[in-house]
Amino acid sequence: MSRKKCPLTYALGILAIGATLLLAAPVGAENSTTIDQSTQPHLKSWSNIIPNANKRFVVLADFNNQAVLDRETGLVWEQTPDGSPRTWEDAVRTCWLRQVGGRAGWHLPTIEELASLVDPTVPTPGPALPPGHPFQNVQQDTYWSTTEDVRPGSGQAWVVHFHLPGQTADTVIGTSRFVWCVRGGTHGDKYK
């Protein structure tokens, strides 16, 4: 006598297998509602504000203490920016070639990324960085971003003035400004 499977029994068997697979998911798998953002700073949103520089910035031992994680944005910055003013093209190239703490993968920041470091409450002459920040040799001057002016053929890119409480402006790309490389984030793919 042959046995026929009842469709209901078959469907229940499939559901039981599916439930077993779901329950066997790797331990520690998290969904967006259970992620501990304090231990996974790269998942933080730019809407978070961390007013205490000691909690916001972390000097990274894995980078030979030469890079700083900004927990507010998830970006990794050189602890000591380049001390030589450069043209915009040289600034882009400098960051592409940069190695900090034995790691490559650096780029010139966008205007938004660079401006995220600014504390506008710091008075002139600055530098306009949060009190207690761990950065070294930051010039009280102007730093390049990778963001070009939107006007076609303008030959300009955006800068942040760290000596004028974080003001931004566009500058002719042949002008020499300072360079501060970053790792991570959303750098532009278009360069002249």
Q: What is the CATH number of domain 38-183?
A: 3.10.100
Length of the chain counted residue by residue: 192
What are the residue boundaries of the structural domains of the chain, listed by start? 38-183
Mean pLDDT of 35-41: 47
Q: Which of 6-15, 37-46, 76-85, 181-190 has the highest mean pLDDT?
A: 76-85
45-99 tens-digit pLDDT: 666 788 888 899 999 999 999 999 999 999 999 999 999 999 999 999 999 999 9
With contact defined as beta carbons under 8 Å apart, do 90 and 82 qualify?
no
pTM: 0.73
Confidence band (pLDDT; 50, 70, 90) for 100? very high
Is residue 17 over pLDDT 50?
no
pLDDT for residue 34: 33
pLDDT of residue 13 exceeding 80, the answer is no
